[in-house]
Structures are given as structure tokens and as C-alpha cells.
Amino acid sequence: MAAVRLTTRPSDEEQYGHGLVVGGDVGGTKTAVGLYDIGAGELVSVARFPTPTEEAPSVLVERFAATAEALIAGASRERSELRATGLAVPGLVDRRGRVICAGKLRQWRDVVLSEMVTERLGVNTSVEQDANAAALAERWRGVAAAMSDFVFLALGTGVGAGVVVDGKLLRGAHAAAGELGDLRELGCAPGPAGIKLGDRIGGKVIAAHANVLVSEALAPAEALAGAARDPRLEELADEVAELVSIAVFAIVTVVDPEAIVFGGGTAEAGDVLLRRVHAQLEGHVCAIPHLVVSALGEDAQLYGAVYGGLSLLERAPG
């Protein structure tokens, strides 16, 4: 994993001093845990484990904490250097770190996750919805560093968006802003009307469709990129782009962002996907935003979790 260096000033060290922050990105299939060195301004190590989707939240908390402690020990650092943690999770999360619901994590309802992690590791913990965390990360050290109005569109196991307006996250009255996976088709795209968008363009769905077409196990991004050389995948790429454009149309007409930052595994298809989505917008909206791929790749949510942890620290500590 290539290190991504801080590009803005003042540096983390100038603002927060020395020490460590551990971030966690809880996904629908795997959880990533990263050890961030404040003084160096970079992730120094990352570990991943399967997300215990059928278990109680306490199981995830223990695995996260144990992995964090192992990363600290593996870096030859002291446990006392840990100053904060942050988590990015799917679903709805309120301002105090309470997970209202978490998508496919069925047992994660009304869970004050921040308190659980703080009790286990003994440091303050930030918990943020995953697409929101990614949006914060892109503004912190990604392609949106100079933007005040943009949207991070997460195309992974599910579909969601982190919306930034006037430099601030738009959360909504019920912490549900950006839940684009809940959009329904209304006869404007292939397939039965009324199906949730997230159930049509989730990563596993795209991969399964590709497997049927070419009898080969392909990741979602590989399947879409393969359309350039395999006509059997062309129709799939066009259909995915048309479905993604439903979410993009909603974003453009309601938010009017400067840019939409595409992230998640499916977005790794890059221009193959973005060109098709752009073509869907042409002639239908007056102002097409910049469509760009995340600068942080699969680690966007992880960096957002780290940023959440950093935000809990006092400025310019002694």
C-alpha cells in the first residue's frame, strides 16, 4: 500500500503533537484497521479481517481492539502512545457516535459504538457513517482539498454518498442524508420498477452478473473495465452506468456540487465507468459536475476514520 502524505499545512504534528491514532473501516465483507503516526503524517500499517456480519457489535469491537493492539506492538510502539481511535461504519450514525442501523449488519441497531470502543481501549473514539468519513478524507488529503461543495459517491458492497455543502457535512434530520442505495427505479432503467438501487449495483451483484456472462470470476471494476475488450461485458457496463446515473441525477439536481468523487471497489473501473455516466448526463442537466475517481482508493473510508480520531484531539498540545 503506497503511503499518502499530508499535503496541507499546518501538519498533523504541528496541530496535534506526537502519538498514534487507529482508524477502522467496517465494510460489508471485511474490516480494515490502520495505524496512523501523527508525527509522520501517514498510515504505517494496515490489517484486515472478515467483518463478523452475523455477530453482535461487541465481537467486532473486540477484534478491532485486538488488531489495533497488535499493530501497535508490531510497529515497536508503546500502547500508551495511542491517543484516539475512529471508525467508519455503514448505515446511519448520529452525531454522538450511535449507530442507528448498519445495513447488512443486522444486529447493529441503536448501538453506542463510540462508548464501547472507548471503554475497551481507553481513548476517545469517533464513529462516522462510511461515505461521510470518505468525504471528510477527500477534503482532508484527497481530490476535494480545495472544494466546499462536493459529494463522495461510494460504490462498493452497497451504494451511499457523503455530501459536503459549504464545507460542512450534510447529515439530515435523521442522519440519513446520502442514502442513495434506497432510491427506487421508476421505470427509467432496465429491470423491474421499484427495486432498490443498491440491490442492482452492489459489488456482489455486478460480479455475479459478469460471471454469468463470461463464466469467469471478476471483481466489479474488472468486469466493467473488461467491456473495452469483451463485447459480452459491454451491455453490463452500459447498464451499470445507467443505474449509477440515477444516483448522479439525484445528486446534481438537489445539491449542484462542484464535483462527484467516485469511490469504492466498483469505481476502480475509472474512465470506463465515468465516461458512460457523463454521457447519461449530457443534454439532461444544465451544469455537469466534475466526475473524478477518489485519490485515496480503497483507503478513503479508513483515512476518514483516522481524521475523525484526530478531530477529537486538542489543537496544538504541549
pLDDT in tens, 97-135: 999 998 888 899 999 999 999 999 999 999 999 999 999
What residue numbers bound the domain in which 188 lies?
A: 145-294
Name beta bridge partners: 155: 159
In a domain, 316, yes or no: no
pLDDT attached to residue 186:
54
159 and 64 part of one domain: no
Helix/strand/coil percent split, the chain, to 5: 40, 20, 35
| pTM for this prediction | 0.89
171 and 284 part of one domain: yes
Taking the C-alpha atoms of residue 131 and residue 287, their distance in angstroms, rounded to an integer, is 24
82 and 180 part of one domain: no
Positions of the chain with pLDDT under 70: 1-10, 185-194, 315-318
191 and 59 part of one domain: no
**3-class DSSP state of 103:** coil
In a domain, 7, yes or no: no
Largest interatomic CA distance in the chain = 62
Short-list 31, 214, 1, CA closest to 222:
214
Residue 27, domain CATH: 3.30.420.40
Contacts of 181 (CB under 8 A, 6+ apart): 158, 159, 160, 196, 197, 198, 199, 202
pLDDT attached to residue 193:
52
Say how many domains are in the chain. Answer: 2
Taking the C-alpha atoms of residue 212 and residue 51, their distance in angstroms, rounded to an integer, is 27
In a domain, 1, yes or no: no
pLDDT attached to residue 98:
93
In a domain, 318, yes or no: no
In a domain, 131, yes or no: yes
pLDDT attached to residue 228:
86
124 and 174 part of one domain: no
Listed in order, strand segments (DSSP E) in the chain are: 20-26, 30-37, 42-50, 82-89, 92-93, 98-101, 111-112, 125-129, 150-155, 159-165, 168-169, 259-263, 290-293
Q: Which residues of 253-280 are buried (b: 16+ CB within 10 A; e: fewer)?
A: eebebbbbbbbbbbbbbeebbbebbbeb
In a domain, 4, yes or no: no
